[in-house]
A and B are shown apart, each in its own frame.
Chain A
């Protein structure tokens, strides 16, 4: 699970008011080199919950150099900054771990990089 993916996911447990963001705990995190596409990164910026990305990146120890906030135009010209964001969004992968609903505490396992969000019928 990449951090871009974590940024788009939320809990769908019954009765939950705000299931975003899911809490993350990880036992295996890999880093994989991914081709850098600055336009793609810039286009994604306005869709992200930026503070959540920064928080999760810091939690995993990969947040160094990430801007605290997005500029008003939600774009960066500086390629070094974009590369840093690219690294955090696409190159860091939680391979084994757990997501947790912020309201119910329900755990969703992450295994082989894939979060399992299936709920039982009564949930």
Chain B
């Protein structure tokens, strides 16, 4: 059972199904993003992605229902909202089974902070991939049209479920 939050176009959800997830639950707030997701689901003829429109941080799921995998592409946080991605990661960690794992995206510039914070809690963290995200001009103070941001794709799990290296 996989839940994918802030799914954008469903890339992560669809990838999960293709890799053998029994069922993927995609929680998405934005109607346009949901339309893209539905288009992709029908284009790829995917069967077992469920979509819920809503805010994943507002407890629309039973606390005691646990997932094997949570994938989250959180907002990285703006000037006034730093650390938003950690909040999503925390919420995701409380939603997995003891053997489960969370996959999340964070700015590479925050890697040391995040790794230290999680490892000091006895969690197993791994940077699975490094990538670049194109972030379009969104706010008045952004002077460039778009920027490339270095992003880590990290996997977090409890020590007992750590993969062999």
Q: Hey, which bits of chain A sit against chain B, CB under 8 A?
A: 1-2, 4-5, 7-10, 12, 20, 32, 34-35, 37, 40, 43-44, 47, 49, 90, 112-119
Contacts and interface: CB of A to CB of B under 8 A. Distances in A.
B29 A9 contact: no
B65 A113 contact: no
Given A35-B47, A37-B22, A40-B22, A117 B52 contact: yes
A119 B62 CA distance: 17
A74 to B, nearest CB: 14
Contacts of B52: 1, 5, 9, 114-115, 117
Interface of B: 1, 22-23, 25, 29, 34, 38, 47-48, 50-55, 58-62, 65-66
Contacts, number: 65
A9 B60 contact: yes
Sort A-B residue pairs by CB-CB distance and give the 6 closest, nearest first.
A117-B54, A40-B22, A8-B65, A116-B53, A5-B50, A117-B60
Contact of A10 (B1, B38, B62): B62
A116 B61 contact: no
A9 B61 contact: yes
